[in-house]
Structures are given as structure tokens and as C-alpha cells.
Structure 1
């Protein structure tokens, strides 16, 4: 073991001023609606594409009660025709009008095909537009026509350990006085609707429900009891990939599960930027291609991007403060006490580099270095 041992390890970034870039990409080829150098706001539509509509098979022969080769005689539409839901596609009359049958379109769309062998029509619904918003306010730095844009801005920046819910934006509003305060349901007021509410060490189940009812945009706190969170979500959670939960707002935990005071640095950043408009995103991925939940607060200050080091990356060494990001110690914070040089076998029998961490309760645990991140302040 060497006290001079170190490793470059990702960590959570908390800073009152940095330069943030975000690439905004269309899911398929489309149209980019902004140009390089253009200033954009959170809700600016920067791109648009169209997803192909769904095909619907209409079994005309069976519905009319005729043979497939006879269907063409009764069709009222041709391939390429636009049809409306409820519009007549085919009709059949027999026995001097005593028998009348008709087939109506189940959807709005276009007649795409007719199969003479089966007597079936295919109707495809209209393309569905997908609009890509800027997400953050800033300047368009790069455009890849038809595909993506990169937006950059000076900003205050706070990452969390895990989040729930997607991209939103609203004004920062502190609802507690200290990073150690518990955010109670009574602290959430009607005027918090549309805002990103900042709490302290804990949000209760009742707080989560009140936040949803009031209509907050986001909620950022140190921690939540996992039992309260699962009760609120309605299902047990995993921690590999999050961000698509439909909970009505975006929730970010800056420290982990349980009652955990928000870091003083993060709380002070939010205090400094009370009433600033900010972007929030709960998307989290703790496996390959790490993604952290984030709050981005665009600012007007001038900053030289090249003068700033990579956010959330640092040199882990003895006495570094780290957070463990895998079970069974997920969310635990501790201090690095040893960085063994030699490889150690873990439960899977794989030899890996490890780190020994003294947790806040005094226990010293050994975990793979890939399972920790530096708390970057």
C-alpha cells in the first residue's frame, strides 16, 4: 500500500460557476431549426423530426363476408387515399337491399396497401412529430444538420446521486433554512407550483405527495427513505437507470437514501441562486456510461471554457471524500484510508483494484474502485 497511490475517478460536481455544454440529438434524421451562434431559451424548439405512423390491418373480406378476390368490387377507396376515422372503406348490399354491410376506417390515415390474396387493407396513421427543446438557455455552439446541436452556457451546476423524472425547468426556491432541515409537507406552499423546491436532509412521503399535488417542477433534497420513495412510486426501484418515471415532477437526491444533510456546498449554491431559472433532469445511470441527475442554472457571467477542468473528475487519494455507488453500501459517504496497489479478488472472483473506505459510522469497508465516486466540491 502506498499513501501516494491515486486514481482518476468520476465524482459529483458542485460549483457556483462553470461552463456547461449539452448536446441535443433527434432520435431519427430530421430538421434542425436553429443556427450556430443563436441564443436559445429553455423551451426553444431546436429540432423536429417525424416518426412513422402505425399500420392498421383492416380485414375487409371477413367483415363484409365475401371472398378475398371479390373485395375490390366493393372498395370505396384506393391506395394513396386519405381516410378519416369512421369513414366508409367498403360496402356490400345483397338481396335487394335486405343485407347491407359496411366497413369503416378505425383511424385517420392513408390507405397504404391492398392485398388481393387476403382482401385486407393497410391504413397507416399520420407521422407523429417529435420536437426537440433546448433544455438549457445558452448559445448554439455547433450544428450537425438534421441530427443535433450543442448548446453552451456559463452556469452554476449541482449533480445528485440519484434522480427520478425527466427534463424540466423552473425558478429555484428554498423551502428550508438549513441543509439539515427536514422538508415537511407543510413547507410546500401553493406558490411553489412551477418551481424547483430545495429542501435539506429529508423529504417525507407526505412531502412528496404534497409536491405532486401542488405542481412543483422539481424537488431537490439530501435524501428520502427508500420505503417512502417506493410507496410514492408504487413499485420497488432499481438504481441502474432512472429518469422516465411519470411522477409529475423531477426528484433529485444529492446524498442518497435516508436522512442525509445536503452538502453545505450544494445548499449554498442554491441559496446564492434563489429565484434563478434553472434546468433539472433526474436521469441517472450508474453503470457504463455514467449519467448523473443535475440542476443547471444558466448565468450571464463571462467564462473561458478551456480554463476549466472536467467537472466531477478528480484524483482519488488518501483522505479523499467519496461516495459508494453500488450495493450493499449504496449512498454511503466515507474517507479513503487505503489504496492497495495489488489487485484483490471480489465476490465474483474477478481481480480488481480496490479502495478501503472509512464510513461515517466508523466501519472500514473494501470496495472496487469502480464502485466509488469522489465528492467534488
Structure 2
């Protein structure tokens, strides 16, 4: 069976067709970004709240090294502020009189796969993953695209420990906020449940849409799962 895995917009897939993938395989890379603050009001000698009158670039604008960011007319011409970096205007702070520039660096960071199987195809936005067998279910909501090895717990009175839950996805009907916090402390990567939380957990969360699906999921207890936020789908697979 084929499962479609979304590729984040800011990333490039580094997997190849027919490649075997597991949880230790890097699957995407993205350029790293840092922020740089430019004190426009200080350099131009203006009041911070007057910054917009002197700007040549605004939030969202792409900047090349050497571009003029702001300028002020002076007695013998113009006082100009030029960018020392290439990047994007992330923020204009008129309280501090600053521009925040998001700089794209040459170094790249890689992310490990949250799925396993064989790559059938890689397109611009998706990875077509071939797995042995899979079952698809609808979600009410998902906090992110995530997945991993599933651990099945029928009720929250079950003793949870780091040995059997760390780096795994917890599948459970319902969980108290206290137990959710305990699960986070044990290193659980995410939770799949039916009942929502009043206080949202810090880890990934997927809510099943249909109550009856939970019994089917526990009956099969397939070893792995993938959650796709954009399609509100969850796949349990082997």
C-alpha cells in the first residue's frame, strides 16, 4: 500500500526512489536562519516611532547584501543604512526603532524520518511511501505532521515508563492533563486519542473523529503510524 507523506514547504527531500527508510534516516534538509537586528533609529538619529518615514524596505521584502534599508536626507545628501546580509525583513519594531532581518545561512540542517518503508516516488510536495499493509482513519484534528512507533494503552491506570514509551506515539482513549504531562516527561513523541484536553499538551496530538475506530485500531495494533495534518488522516501500518 502507498502512503503519501507531505514535504514541508521550506524543505527539500533528500530521499531517492526505491530507498529503504527507517526512523534513523534523514529525509529532508532546510537552510538554517538567524535573526539580525538593525538599529535604524540610532543610526539615523531619529525617534523610534518615526521609523516608517525613512524605510525603503518592509516586512516580507527580500533583501540582498548591499540593499538600502533606510535613508535620511541630511545637509550634504543622504545618510543610508545598507544591509550587510541577504535575507527577508521579518519584523519592524517602531517601539525600539529596529528592523529584524531573517538571514538565510549556507549551512543546512537535516531532519530524521518519522516513518519507515520504501520510497516509491518523490514529487515536489509529497513522498509516496510503500508499506506492507495499512489502515486509514479520519481525524478531527492534528497538531502537526508526525508519526513513529505506536504503543497501545487501553486505560490511563496502566503503568507508563520511559523504557516502553520513549520516542513512541501513545494510542489511548482518553488521558488526564496530569497523565499527559507525565507522558511528556517520559519522552513520548505524540498522542493519538479521542477526547481533547482543556490544556493542550506540548507534544504532538491527533484526535480521532469516529469513536468506533478506536476499537478497530486496538484490535489490529499495527506497529507504526503516520499522521498528516493537511488531509486530517492517520495511517496505522506495518
TM-score normalised by length of structure 1: 0.42
Cα 1:255–1:120 change in 2 (3 A) is: closer
Pick closer, same or farther for the CA change 1:207–1:21 going to 2, 3 Å: same
1:279 aligns to 2:233 (yes or no): no
Tell me the equivalent position of 2:19.
38
* 1:172/1:195 contact within 8 Å kept: yes
Whether 2:204 is the aligned partner of 1:264: answer no
Q: Are 2:170 and 1:197 equivalent residues in the alignment?
A: yes
What residue number does 1:220 align with?
192
Question: Is residue 143–residue 205 contact of structure 2 (8 Å, CA) maintained in 1?
Answer: yes
The whole-number CA distance in structure 1 between the counterparts of 2:206 and 2:33 is 34
Map of 2:58 onto structure 1 = none
The answer to whether the Cα contact below 8 Å between 2:225 and 2:236 also exists between their aligned partners in 1 is: yes
Q: Closer, same or farther in 2 for the Cα pair 1:255/1:56, shift >3 Å? A: closer
Using the TM superposition, give the Cα deviation of residue 140 of structure 1 relative to its aligned residue in structure 2, in angstroms: 1.9
CA 1:114–1:138: 2 relative to 1, 3 Å: closer
Contact 1:45–1:134 (8 Å) recurs in 2 = yes
C-alpha distance in 2 between matches for 1:31 and 1:158: 26
Change over 3 Å in CA distance of 1:198–1:52 after alignment to 2: closer
Q: Spell out the pairing of 1:216-365 with structure 2 (5 A cutoff).
A: 216-221=188-193, 223-224=194-195, 226=196, 229-230=197-198, 232-233=199-200, 247-255=201-209, 263-270=214-221, 273=222, 276=223, 278-281=224-227, 283=229, 291-297=231-237, 299=238
Give the aligned CA root-mean-square deviation in angstroms: 3.7
Write out aligned runs for 1:32-181 (5 A): 32-50=13-31, 56-59=37-40, 62-63=42-43, 112-113=65-66, 115=68, 117-124=78-85, 125-127=103-105, 129=108, 131=110, 134-144=113-123, 149-176=127-154
Q: Which has the larger radius of gyration?
A: 1
Give the secondary-structure state (helix, strand or coil) at the position aligned to 1:268: helix
The residue number in structure 2 matching 1:236 is none
Cα distance, 1:268 vs structure 2: 0.3
Residue 27 of structure 1 deviates from its aligned partner by 1.7
CA distance in 1, matches of 2:67, 2:204: 47
CA distance in 2, matches of 1:174, 1:148: 28
Aligned residues: 194
C-alpha deviations, 1:96-147, integer Å up to 9, x for none? xxxxxxxxxxxxxx99226473331313334374646544212222234x76
